[in-house]
Each structure stands twice: as structure tokens, then as C-alpha cells.
Amino acid sequence: MLLKYRLLHLLLGSVFLSSASQANELPIEISGFGKVVGGYLDDPDLAYQGYEDELSFDRQSLAAIQIDWQVMPKLSLTTQLLAHSNKNRESGVEWLYLTYEVDDQWQIRLGKQRTPFFRYSDVLNVGFAYHWVTPPQQLYNGVLFPTYDGLNVKYRFGTQDVQASLEGYWGEFNDEYNIANLTIQPDIKNFHGLIGNVRWQNLSAQLGFHSGDIDLVLEDLNGLADILQQAGYQASADSLSTNGNVEVLFAGIAYHDIDYFVEAEVIKLIGEPIVFPTSSSAYVSAGLYLPPFTIHTTLATSHASYPPRVNEIPLGLAPQVDQLAFAYNQVYASLAKDSLDSIGIGARYDLSAHFAFKADIIRLRGKQGQRSFFDNPDNSNRPAATLYQFSLEWVF
């Protein structure tokens, strides 16, 4: 119901603004996108991305409008307002930034922007821009910080045959977001990255490096670390640190021809804070263009690991020390690991230049004793299920 009101509000707002901008010939452009996504998970004991064994439409459906105001010939202001059906996802201002087009080659942006981690990170909400209903969760899982406040500089160069770009950004992030069922508000400073992109005819390749210093408050964990430190177990206390550096390395390649495509991405995440395990993820996706249909298949995998626990707390010395060792071991035992393999098939039907219908079937196979991106894994079994999703996506 809430989604319906939000959609109505957005649609009415966009119609009003379109009319106003046309009537007064203001240098304002209104565009927008949205999607209604239905999903069903075939296992009654599991939940994945909020999907359970009943058809649900309120996990990923959303609508957004983007307003571009050409303030001056080279300066524009862009804002994107988003209404999300999922109560765990924040609705409101997704973007708000100024763009200065220095010339054909240089572009500078300042403000709140989406973090360009991977190929589709900055259009993750715009389902019309990719072929899946949901991009592979092994990469596009929302663990990393979705937006940042800061500066982005892009330089484009090339020859007739080879086009390239270099993009650098620097900023900070201090906002709430969710990792699975955990809501966190990290304070990220010195958040920066460099992305290189090369295109030669139908082939494109990307390389990226991202880094940030994280300060995260998790009261229970920080409290235990303080007690361990006071008791003299410094190495154990350090291993529970929620502060430190996170680095992400990324490589991607894509080939799009007139009747087929192949895409692949691979990432390596190295995190010092305990909530960011070292992980490697990758997918390869291939498909055929049979206008107006696109059919595709995707293989994806992820592997997550934590450093081994520190064995410095002696057992049997005193009951209080034993309790401390037990609490420390409990924390390590409860650390969620998201190793997951999946294979999916899907189809996209382009109804028009503005509407597309999609359907995907994904077989998910986790690792025994791990969370594997499931919301409620049963640690005694290997979590595995099939996710069915379909969506109507639009842009205007």
C-alpha cells in the first residue's frame, strides 16, 4: 500500500514537473525509472534477500525520478529521488551532485553520488540497464557502501579505434545501511578509488581499486574487545577490531556483439575490520540477442574467510578467564561467511524502448555451516534453494 502511494506521488510529481518545465522552457529535464519485482524461494525453511516460499513483491520494487537542471552551459545539478518498497531500504535523496563539464574529456562531479565499485554499481537500481532481474549477489550484495559524499573526476581519451577513461574519486560515507540482517552506520574517511576503462570495438575492460578507513561502532563487540584488552589479551582484542582499512580490487571484461554477449567480473575484498571478511567473488554471464528477446545464463561464485582466531587465552586458569575465552570463541563461531555458488538462466523481453519484462531462475548452493547470503541459514545443513524472480522495468 505504501509503495502504491509512493509510486503515485512520484508519478504525479513527475507529470507536474514535466508540464511546468515545458510550459516555462526551463533548462530542467525530468527522467525516471522503476521496477516491480516478484520473487519466490522454493525452500520453506530458508529466506534469501527477503524472499520466502510465498510470492512477494515488496523486496526490490522501486520507483525513482531524476531531475537534471542545467544551471549554466557547463554546470548542471542532478538529484535522484527514490521510493523503495523494502522497509529496510532507505527512500529519499539517492543522489545530489553538481557536474562541471570542463570539455569533452574532463568531467568533475561534487556531492552525494553512488560509489562506482563495479560495472553496474552506479545503476544497480535501474534494472532496465542490465539483463538480470537481480545482478549476481556474490558481487552486488550491498555489503559495500552504496554512496559517498565527495569529488569525482573523470578523464576520457582515445583514438578512433580505442576509447579509454580514467576516473578517480575521493570522499566519505556516514550513513546507515544493511548487511544481511545487520544495520550498521560506519564512519568512512579517506574513501577513494581509481577506475580505468578501455573499449576497443565491441570489447571493453575495466580495472578498479577502492579503499577506505572505517570506524564502526558495534557496542557488544567493542565492549568485549575492551575487556580483553584490560585483561591483557591484546592480540585477541585486536582481532575483534571494528576499525581499519578496507580495500577492493576489481576487474571486468565484456564483449557485446549484434547477436550475443559475454560479461565477467571478479573482485577481491580485503578488510581489517572483523565485519568485512576477506572475500573473492566472480561471475561470468553469456547470452543471445533474439530481438525483442534476450536469453542468458550466469555462473557466479564467492568465497569468504576470516583470519584464524587468536589462541592466547588460557583455559582452566580461573572461571572468569574461561568465560572470556568462551565469549571470544562464540564471537568467532558466529561470524557470518558468505560463500555461495549459483547458476541462473533468464530471459528479457523488451516491450518497447521504455519497458522490459524479465524472468530469472537461479539455483543457489551455499556452504555448510555458512550464511551464504541466506537470511536464516540452518547451520546443520548446506543451504540450497531455487529463486524464481520476474519483473517489469521501465525508464522514461
AA identity, residue 204: S
Is 27 near other proteins (CB under 8 A)? no
> CA 77, 188, 208: angle at the middle one, nearest 5?
75
Task: Determine which residue in the list 24, 230, 334, 352 makes contact with other proteins, applying CB under 8 A.
Answer: 352
Choose one: 13-21, 42-50, 174-182, 258-266; the region binding other proteins (CB under 8 A). Answer: 258-266
Least Cβ distance, residue 373 to other proteins (angstroms):
25
Closest CB to other proteins among 303 and 348?
348
- Of the candidates 39, 116, 186, 252, which one interacts with other proteins according to CB under 8 A? 116
Q: Is 35 in the site for other proteins (CB under 8 A)?
A: no
How many other CB atoms are found less than 10 A from the CB of residue 344? 23
Nearest distance, CB of residue 350 and other proteins, angstroms: 4
From 16-24, 85-93, 104-112, 137-145, span contacting other proteins (CB under 8 A): 104-112
Measured CA to CA in angstroms, residue 186 lies from 143, 189, 326, 369 at distances of 12, 10, 27, 27
Q: Which stretch binds other proteins (CB under 8 A): 98-106, 213-221, 295-303, 366-374?
A: 98-106
Provide the 10 A C-beta neighbour count for residue 308.
8
Under the criterion CB under 8 A, does residue 53 sit at the interface with other proteins?
no
Residue 272 CB-half CA count within 13 A:
14
Cα distances (Å, whole numbers) of residue 103 to 28, 76, 155, 257, 350: 21, 14, 10, 30, 35
Interface with other proteins (CB under 8 A), residue from 17, 28, 123, 203: 123
Bridge partners of 244, per DSSP, are 214
Piece of 44-52, 92-100, 143-151, 320-328 that binds other proteins (CB under 8 A): 92-100
Residue from 89, 192, 199, 268 touching other proteins (CB under 8 A): that is 199
Helical axes 219-230 vs 319-334, angle rounded to 10°: 140
Residue carrying the nine cell digits 531524476: 66
Q: Which stretch binds other proteins (CB under 8 A): 11-19, 97-105, 244-252, 381-389?
A: 97-105
The percent of the chain in helix, strand and coil, each rounded to the nearest 5, is 15, 50, 35
Location of C-alpha cell 525513482: 64
Q: Does 117 bind other proteins (CB under 8 A)?
A: no
Among 158, 223, 232, 307, binds other proteins (CB under 8 A): 158
User: Can you tell me whether residue 226 is helix, strand or coil?
Assistant: helix
Check binding of 204 to other proteins (CB under 8 A). no
Question: Where would I find the H helices in 88-209?
Answer: none
Total residues at the site for other proteins (CB under 8 A)?
50
Note whether 144 binds other proteins by CB under 8 A: no
Q: Does residue 114 bind other proteins (CB under 8 A)?
A: yes
Number of neighbours of residue 164 by Cβ within 10 angstroms: 16
Q: Which of 118, 167, 124, 170 is nearest to 149 (CA)?
A: 170
Residues 6+ apart with CB under 8 A from 234: 228
Based on CB atoms, which residue is closest to other proteins, 298 or 339?
298
Q: Which residues bind other proteins (CB under 8 A)?
A: 31, 33, 66, 78, 80, 95, 97, 99, 104-105, 107, 109, 113-114, 116, 120, 122-123, 125-126, 128-131, 154, 156-158, 160-161, 163, 199, 201-202, 256-259, 261, 289, 291-292, 294, 348, 350, 352-354, 356, 395
